[in-house]
Amino acid sequence: MMDFVLEAWVSLLIERAKLEWILGLGRTKQAGQRLKLLLACYAGARNTGSDVRVEEMIRQIRHILGAENVDLSVTTQNFDLTRDYFQGATQVKLPDIFPPFLYREVGKNDGAIACEGSMFKSTWADALTTMMVGSLGLAVAQNKLSVGYGGDADRMNPMLAWMCRRYCQHSFVIARSAGSQTALREQGITAELGTDTAWTFAPNLPDFGRQTLRQAGWDEMTPVLVVCASDPFCWPVKPSLAKYFARVFTGAYKESQYRTIYFHKAGPEVDAALKRMLTGMSNAVRAFQQRHKVFPIVVGTEMLDKKACQEVAKQLGGVPTFTSDVYDMHQLVSILRAGHMMVSSRYHAIVTTMPTLLPSAGIAMDERIRNLMQERGQEELWVSVNDPDLEAKLLTAMEKLRSDTEAIRYAIGRTVVQNLKRMARMGVFFERTVHERFPEFPIQGGLRSWEDYLPPLDARLKQLVELHDSRAQAMAAT
């Protein structure tokens, strides 16, 4: 019921915005003014993947449009947890009850960019999708720039699907995958094919990871096995006033409360599924340790992963654990990149280490890790969170990471460069969309390379692109 209330509330505000625009009451960009854009996102929860995505969107937008020409705002749930993030953008506090805030903030800007990867799906939280659809719909209603940047689409509840069809048909959407592109087109929304935006991220503390592992007991010689654990079964999060009042007055639902009126999925079945998965992961890692000398560490890339990480670390005998409530995105990615091989149930833990060619295997709760491994041509390197043979399959995948390291690294490098080119194409689409909506907006002219549509790359990525291009030229010549 509360999800429906939020969805209906946002819908009414969009209809109100339409009427106000007709009456000439909305903001109109004046020539010469900087382009004001609101980036609607899931920042401030220390979800490393979400934060990294937005960080790179900001760098790409400022690079393509010119930092002097744009004025960016980013939503955050907690200023303390995004301190020193998103340079060049103003952070604005996103309240838990967000419809009035969204209406006001979109009204202050010349456009809105929906940034969340799970943009049009009910997997995680209908409230989050409502926010994404609402930001796009409000921008369309006020004849402003409305862009969904690198998002996924899948099953939505009927009300959200209706909102998506009604309010986002005139948004410009770039899908993160071909499957999402198809799903959006089935909703009547034209979508271009793009990718994730985390591919260009490089931590500003590249040596931090190795230093931190040394302090945790690493001898600098033993291969580091990174294990990224999470709880994929506690989703979706749903708002509930009944649970909220029960929590306030009786103390009930303490363990499942996410924040204020929002609660995770919980119960004996959820607990049992999580226990099976974490035990399977731990058993596979222990078996691998018996065969090969490795230094295992456990990493949680979202604060919510902490309990799962602690449980895996406990089952492995108390190995070092690093979680995002303690380490920011730069520190955590640096720790991930200090590894020599990885098994991860977090998609962005894999993506952010692929530019360093770290061999990785995935434990998939949805299509993202599965699609990524298929793109790499390594379908044998992923297993489902619900697979009854998770332990055996994960052990087999780890053995392959060790035995086929060079072939895996080559496929990873090829995939990274392919996705960099898709991300550059997203930049081309974005620049074109801005120019179509605001013809007077200054854009760079002349012929440019595809790399010019990416944020500045670090030396490692530049070298990877050059190596890939030289190999491609050599193959073409033969």
Instruction: Show pLDDT as tens, one digit a residue, over the chain (478 residues).
Output: 788 999 999 999 999 999 998 888 776 766 678 999 999 999 999 999 999 999 999 999 999 999 999 999 999 999 999 999 999 999 999 999 999 999 999 999 999 999 999 999 988 899 999 999 999 999 999 999 999 999 999 999 999 999 999 999 999 999 999 999 999 998 889 899 999 999 999 998 889 999 999 999 999 999 999 999 999 999 999 999 999 999 999 999 999 999 899 999 999 999 999 999 999 999 999 999 999 999 999 999 999 999 999 999 999 999 999 999 999 999 999 999 999 999 999 999 999 999 999 999 999 999 999 999 999 999 999 999 999 999 999 999 999 999 999 999 999 999 999 999 999 999 999 999 999 999 988 887 665 889 999 999 999 999 999 988 777 767 666 6
pLDDT single digits (tens) 274-315: 999 999 999 999 999 999 999 999 999 999 999 999 999 999
- Is the domain of 124 the same as that of 157? yes
The CB-side HSE value for 82 (13 A sphere, CA atoms) comes to 26
217 shares its domain with 137: no
Predicted local confidence at residue 278, as pLDDT: 98
Other beta carbons less than 10 A from residue 171's beta carbon = 24
Residue 57 included in any domain: yes
Helix (H) or strand (E) segment spanning residue 382: strand 382-384
Residue 476 resides in a domain: no
The per-residue pLDDT for range 78-130, each reduced to its tens digit, is 999 999 999 999 999 999 999 999 999 999 999 999 999 999 998 889 999 99
Inter-axis angle of helices 99-108 and 2-22, nearest 10: 30
Q: Which of 403, 432, 464 is the last residue of a domain?
A: 403
What is the C-alpha to C-alpha distance for residues 164 and 154, in angstroms, rounded to an integer?
12
Does a structural domain hold residue 137? Answer: yes
pLDDT at 181: 94
- The alpha-helical segments, DSSP class H, found in 194-352 are 208-215, 241-250, 268-291, 306-315, 329-337, 347-351
d(CA 301, CA 366): 17
Q: Are 288 and 399 in contact (CB under 8 A)?
A: yes
Q: What pLDDT, on the 0 to 100 scale, is given for residue 109?
A: 96
Beta bridge partners of 257: 263
Q: What is the C-alpha R_g of the chain? A: 22
Nearest Cα to Cα of residue 430 among 52, 34, 62, 180: 62
Can you name the residues that pair with 43 across neighbouring β-strands?
A: 76
Of 362, 335, 364, the closest CA to residue 203 belongs to: 335
Structure tokens at 172: 């410009």
What's the token pair of residue 124?
């995680």
The CATH number covering residue 150 comes to: 3.40.50.11720
Work out the end-to-end distance of the chain between its first and last CA atoms, rounded to an integer number of angstroms. Answer: 63
φ and ψ at residue 70, rounded to 5 degrees: -125, 155
Query: Do 132 and 218 fall into the same domain?
Result: no
Evaluate whether 110 touches 75 at the Cβ level (below 8 Å). no
Extract the tokens encoding 467.
């190596």
Are the CB atoms for 354 and 415 separated by under 8 Å? yes
Helix 48-65 crosses helix 405-437 at what angle (to 10 degrees)?
A: 50
Asked whether residue 74 is assigned to any structural domain, the reply reads yes
Q: Are residues 148 and 228 in the same domain?
A: no
Residues 195 and 274 in one domain: no
For residue 475, tell me if it sits in a domain.
Answer: no
Task: Specify the CATH number for the domain of residue 232.
Answer: 3.40.50.2000
| 120 and 98 within one domain | yes
Length of the chain: 478
- Domain shared by 228 and 117, yes or no: no
Does a structural domain hold residue 276? Answer: yes
pTM: 0.94
8 A C-beta contact, residue 30 and residue 48: no
Same domain, 278 and 160: no
For residue 469, being part of any structural domain is answered with: no
* Residue 255 counted as domain residue: no
Same-domain check for residues 114 and 164: yes
One domain for residues 293 and 399:
yes
State the pLDDT at residue 256. Answer: 92
Same domain, yes or no: 217 and 133: no
Position 132 scores a pLDDT of 97
Same domain, 68 and 38: yes
Total domains present in the chain? 2
User: Are the CB atoms for 142 and 107 separated by under 8 Å?
Assistant: yes
d(CA 443, CA 445): 6
**Angstrom distance (rounded) from CA 12 to CA 316:** 52
Sheet holding 238-239, edge to edge: 238-239, 262-263, 257-259
Supply the range of the domain harboring residue 19.
Answer: 2-200
